[in-house]
Amino acid sequence: LRSSIPSRFIPVPEPLDSPPLPTHASFTPLTESLAHSVPFETDADVSVTPVANATRSIHEHPAFNQELSPDARSLLKALRTAHDNESRLQAELASSVDEFAAYRSKADAGREALLAELSRLRNAELTKPKLNVVAVQKGIEDLRRDCQELMTLANAQQSSFHEAMSTFVDRVLAAVPSVDLERIRVERDDAVRARLVAEEALRNESNLRRMLHNEIMQLKGSVRVVCRIRPVSDNERDARLTAVVHGDVQSPTILTLTNPRTGAQSQHDYDVVLGAHTSAESVFSPARDLVVSALDGYCVAIFAYGPTGSGKTFTMAGTPEIPGVNFRALKVLFDLMKMREETHRYQVHLSVIELYNRHVYDLLADPQHVERVKLSVGRDESGVVEVKGAMEVAVESWAAMEQGLWRGMQSRSQNSTAVNERSSRSHCIVRVRISGHCIATGRSYRSRINLVDLAGSENMERSGLSGTRLTESKHINQSLSALGGVFHALSTNRAHIPFRDDKLTYILSDALGGEGKTLVYVCLNPCVTHLAETLNSLQFASRIRTIRQSAKPNTQPRPMSASVS
């Protein structure tokens, strides 16, 4: 059969493992290229294919109806199958062509729409600046209108504000007096409460301080003894005089006395022992507490005792370059008053007198214009001992006090003796009267400081005195003896104290008695030639050191509103 059929009518069978027939997608490139090259003829006969022609030729062949071999039949069956597949693929291709045509139509319509939109946008860009100018002009007009409205509102509010401020100022000015009065009242009440609290605290502090200070002073003793050993002078050193009195460097209260014959030493105990090279400030230091006591209302006496030439005047008065106890004590007095000026009020009066030949004279009186008058001593209406007729100068500053001190001491009676070329022949007493008032407590204080430079006790035979000088020495020794008698009576607690035996003790009675405090500087000459006077002075110091009376302040309670007289 194969040999009888022409070769052009017999299709070549595909191998069993050949790839599958092309799908609809395989025709896409072809259809696309055809779509872009020539239009499709939808009415053309697409069913006539080479496979169909071959099949038709086989059926039309004269030998077709003849009996076929099995191989031929198999091939024929494969050919029929290929024909069926081709028909199906042709149908799918036709459907794809129709679908592509629809897509192309949509694409053309979209392109036209895009071109129309592009044209519209180009026309819109040309009109945009004009629209912007119009919008800006409209915005400017709106802003101008808003600004005008705001200016009108601001002017109205400013006018209203001025009216309100004017009314407020009038009300404030009307309320100021009442507000000030209320504020003043509140401040006054606060100040009164604060003052009461401060006054109470001040009273407590003042009472505690005074109590502690006075307890310390009582423990130390109302009468304290300070031994001062003066340095050996140049003349004594040239004469090779031996010093027999020494202070103990290890103990400031021990004095050592050496027997010039045997060399034996004895020790004596006092409140303070000041060596030959002690500074003037250290000499004054024991007296500082008594100045504080004077401001608290206690009568105070500080005096120097000792034989002629032992350094009493230098201890009390000193020199302009090295001020003594008098100047240092009163300088401290004014310093303390300055510290207390916010809580206390003080008045200070100064008088300077001397006892010469048992008579009292005023050293502040001008000897060129005032005749030297003998003054009397007595008690005033309040029982305080006063020197009647003595000048009392109100002193308000330390400078005025210093000037008055030098003026008084320069008028003191002095003469030379065989022992001292410039010996004080009188007892010089600097009297400072203090009137104080504590503002917080309402308590007034009245006290006095007595600074005494006693005349030197002398051995009549060694001094080489006669006539007037001998009389002076007798009166000096009598006064010192009376002073020793008063201390002896105090040390033995006698009921009667002989203050009136001498004007010296009478003037100092307020300070030497139970309501006062006393400090005695016992001045000593260290040389062996003055051993007898040194022993007498040490006996005097030991006797008065046994006095331990209890001092009381001289106070006068007054209402808070009372003034200091």
pLDDT of residue 495: 87
321-364 pLDDT tens trace: 999 999 999 999 999 999 988 888 999 999 999 999 889 999 99
Identify the CATH number of the domain defined by range 221-557: 3.40.850.10
pLDDT score of 94 = 82
Could you tell me the pLDDT band of residue 547, with boundaries at 50, 70 and 90?
confident
Instruction: Decide: residue 133, CB within 10 A, 0-12 exposed, 13-18 middle, 19+ buried.
Output: exposed
Helices (H) and strands (E) in the chain, counts: 14, 17
Q: Burial of 220 by CB count in 10 Å (0-12 exposed, 13-18 middle, 19+ buried)?
A: middle
Residue 42 confidence (pLDDT):
42
Each residue's pLDDT tens digit, 432-488: 999 999 887 788 889 999 999 999 877 655 555 667 778 888 888 899 999 999 988
Strands 555-557 and 443-453: antiparallel
Per-residue confidence (pLDDT) for residue 30, from 0 to 100: 39
Any idea where the domains of the chain sit in the sequence?
7-121, 221-557
For residue 21, the model assigns a pLDDT of: 43
Are 335 and 326 in contact by the 8 Å Cβ rule? The answer is no
DSSP string computed for 101-114: HHHHHHHHHHHHHH
Q: Are 450 and 508 in contact (CB under 8 A)?
A: yes
SS (H, E, C) 467-532: CHHHHHHHHHHHHHHHHHHHHHHHHCCCCCCCHHHCHHHHHCHHHHCCCEEEEEEEEECCEHHHHH
> For 425-438, what is the mean pLDDT?
93
Instruction: Quote the pLDDT of residue 40.
Output: 40
More confident residue, 277 or 123: 277
Question: How high is the pLDDT of residue 519?
Answer: 95
- Detail the residues annotated as belonging to a binding site for ATP: 306-313
**Six-digit token string for 246:** 């020494």
* Residue among 246, 248, 405, 233 nearest 311 (CA): 233
Read off the tokens for 173: 């000015």
Count of residues in the chain: 565
Which residues line the annotated binding site? 306-313
DSSP letters along 324-347, please? -HHHHHHHHHHHHHHHTTTTEEEE
Single-letter residue type at 243: A
* Spatial contact of 470 and 478, defined as CB atoms under 8 Å apart: no
More confident residue, 436 or 180: 436
Q: Is 225 helix (H, G, I), strand (E, B) or coil?
A: strand
Q: What does residue 545 show for φ and ψ, rounded to 5 degrees?
A: -70, -15
DSSP string, 28-64: HHHHHHHHHHS---TTS-----HHHHHHHHHHHSTTT
Contact 537, 221 (CB under 8 A): no
Give the Cα separation of 443 and 231 in Å (integer). 46
Residue entry with tokens 């062949």: 61
Separation CA 118–CA 464 (nearest Å): 151
* Residues in CB range of 336: below 8 A, 6 or more apart: 291, 292, 295
Is 300's pLDDT higher than 90? yes
Average pLDDT over residues 86-112: 82
Q: In which band, very low, low, confident or very high, does the pLDDT at 44 lie, cut at 50, 70 and 90?
A: very low
CB 449 within 8 A of CB 294: yes
Residue 231 to residue 237: CA distance in whole angstroms: 10
Q: Which two tokens stand for residue 142?
A: 């709106």
The per-residue pLDDT for range 511-530, each reduced to its tens digit, is 988 778 999 999 999 999 98
CB of 361 within 8 A of CB of 377?
A: no
Quote the CA–CA distance of 547 and 291 in Å, as a whole number: 20
Which of 457, 451, 501, 460 is CA-nearest to residue 476? 457
Element (H, E) at 305: strand 299-305
Q: For residues 156 and 268, what is the distance between their CA atoms, to the nearest angstrom? A: 103
Burial (CB < 10 A; 0-12, 13-18, 19+), residue 539, is exposed
- DSSP character at residue 457: B
What is the band of 59 on the pLDDT scale with cuts at 50, 70, 90?
A: low
d(Cα 5, Cα 58) in Å, to the nearest integer?
Answer: 8
CA 396, 397, 399, 401 torsion: positive or negative? positive
**Which SS3 state, helix, strand or coil, does residue 370 take?**
coil
pLDDT in tens, 441-451: 788 889 999 99
